[in-house]
């Protein structure tokens, strides 16, 4: 029984950060009912259901909410929810007849979580975009990549910074903050509200420390691979090993740097010259030469568990076999698909093992019946093409 047991969430099917946010809540015990389309949306990258890891721990009901009967059915499900998650462009929910005003009139305590790239307001609010575009506006994309500005292009950091870090995590944080304000141990407002989670806002928030460093003169915003955390320093970077693999070195603090110098066999004089930029080219060259003389596993045997601040650079197909991951049971197998275990962990209310992702409409009849729909009503919705999915007993 996770810490969010008893929280009921309705998720309007979307892609990217919305599903991850819902997964995070569901992993911690929330009941999440996803309202899927009766036909594929054509968005995202099509994949088999069992590989849609961020869709785990869900019940799915398939409804055509563009039809009045489907909209009415969706609203009845929302009436019973604590939280609604939607990831449409601003105004779409309102045009469909299920915007915040409608939902709050029916369910005043509802937390209406809205996930967008550019936010509910502003000149770009209606523009299409993806993670890469959102982080481009925040300074995050410009800061990531090898080489100086103008020589090497910025490198997309997967979709971790916009979609997931700046999007899903901030939406989940906002939802839980709104629930706390509403309830507050029985002394809250009792009212729901809208959470406007924009990826540009979240990604900007993630960059807070760097704005401070720019203001203080400790970060050069015009160049990349020229600063302390972007690979500009030889003691915070990655290095190739003799077997074509890579290791990471993060010896920022003087005592950790001193240990690194000793353990990899550098000239001891570097210890007192760590921040002397004039010696960095030679220091980097020496580190390249020494680290490149041994395999990744040899360096792991020598440096893992020390205060060098070291880790091997593992591929996705290697991470679950690392002894630390195995000791913490950091990865689980659901239906033959390896995936990360729920996080974070709790001392008393540890999350249960997740359930595998399900196809759209898998729980249509069961969810509608639980919400008070009669068998005749469900049959009528199916006959009209408003509800879809596997019928009970099929």
Annotated active-site residue in 104, 130, 142, 322: 130
Is 130 part of the annotated catalytic residue set? Answer: yes
Is 322 part of the annotated catalytic residue set? Answer: no
Token readout for 392 is 């009970």
CA distances from 21 to 209, 253, 257, 332, 368 (A): 24, 35, 38, 19, 24
Residue 179, phi then psi, degrees to nearest 5 = -65, -40
Alpha-carbon distance of 31 to 367, in angstroms, equals 11
Determine the Cα angle at 295 with ends 318 and 332, to 5°.
10
Local structure of residue 160 (DSSP, 8 states): I
Annotated active-site residue in 82, 163, 237, 365: 163
Helix (H) or strand (E) holding 338, with range, is strand 337-340
E strands in 188-309? 194-198, 236-240, 246-250
Beta bridge partners of 138: none
Helix (H) or strand (E) holding 22, with range, is helix 17-27
Question: Which residue's entry shows tokens 């911690």?
Answer: 28
Q: Mind telling me the catalytic residues?
A: 130, 163
């Amino acid at each position: 029984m996770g810490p969010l047991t008893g929280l009921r969430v309705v998720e309007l099917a979307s892609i990217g950060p919305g599903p991850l946010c819902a997964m995070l809540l569901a992993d911690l015990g929330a009941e999440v009912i996803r309202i899927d389309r009766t036909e594929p949306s054509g968005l995202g990258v099509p994949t088999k259901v069992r590989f849609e890891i961020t869709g785990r721990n869900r019940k799915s009901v398939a409804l055509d909410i563009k039809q009045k009967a489907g909209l009415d059915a969706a609203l009845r499900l929302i009436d019973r929810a604590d939280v609604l998650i939607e990831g449409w462009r601003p105004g779409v929910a309102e045009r469909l007849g299920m915007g915040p005003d409608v939902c709050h009139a029916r369910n005043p305590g509802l937390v209406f979580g809205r996930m967008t790239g550019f936010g509910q307001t502003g000149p770009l609010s209606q523009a299409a975009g993806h993670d890469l575009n959102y982080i481009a506006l925040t300074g995050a994309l410009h800061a990531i990549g090898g080489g100086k500005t103008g020589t090497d292009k910025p490198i997309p950091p997967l979709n971790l910074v916009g979609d997931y870090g700046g999007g899903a995590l901030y939406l989940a944080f906002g939802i839980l903050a709104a629930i706390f304000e509403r309830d507050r141990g029985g002394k809250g407002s009792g009212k729901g509200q809208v959470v406007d989670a924009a990826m540009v806002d979240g990604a900007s928030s993630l960059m807070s420390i760097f704005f401070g460093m720019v203001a203080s003169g400790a970060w050069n915003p015009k160049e990349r691979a020229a600063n302390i955390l972007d690979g500009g320093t030889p003691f915070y970077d990655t290095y190739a090993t003799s077997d074509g693999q890579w290791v990471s070195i993060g010896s920022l603090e003087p005592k950790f740097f001193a240990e690194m110098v000793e353990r990899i066999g550098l000239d001891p004089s570097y210890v007192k010259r760590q921040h002397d930029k004039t010696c960095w080219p030679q220091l980097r060259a020496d580190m390249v030469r020494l680290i490149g003389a041994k395999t990744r596993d040899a360096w792991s045997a020598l440096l893992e568990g020390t205060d060098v601040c070291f880790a091997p650079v593992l591929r996705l197909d290697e991470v679950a076999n690392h002894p630390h991951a195995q000791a913490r049971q950091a990865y689980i197998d659901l239906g033959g698909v390896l995936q990360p275990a729920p996080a974070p962990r709790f001392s008393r209310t540890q999350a249960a093992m997740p359930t595998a992702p399900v196809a759209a409409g898998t729980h249509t009849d069961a969810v509608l019946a639980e919400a008070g729909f009669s068998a005749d009503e469900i049959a009528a919705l199916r006959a009209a093409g408003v509800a879809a999915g596997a019928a009970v007993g099929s």
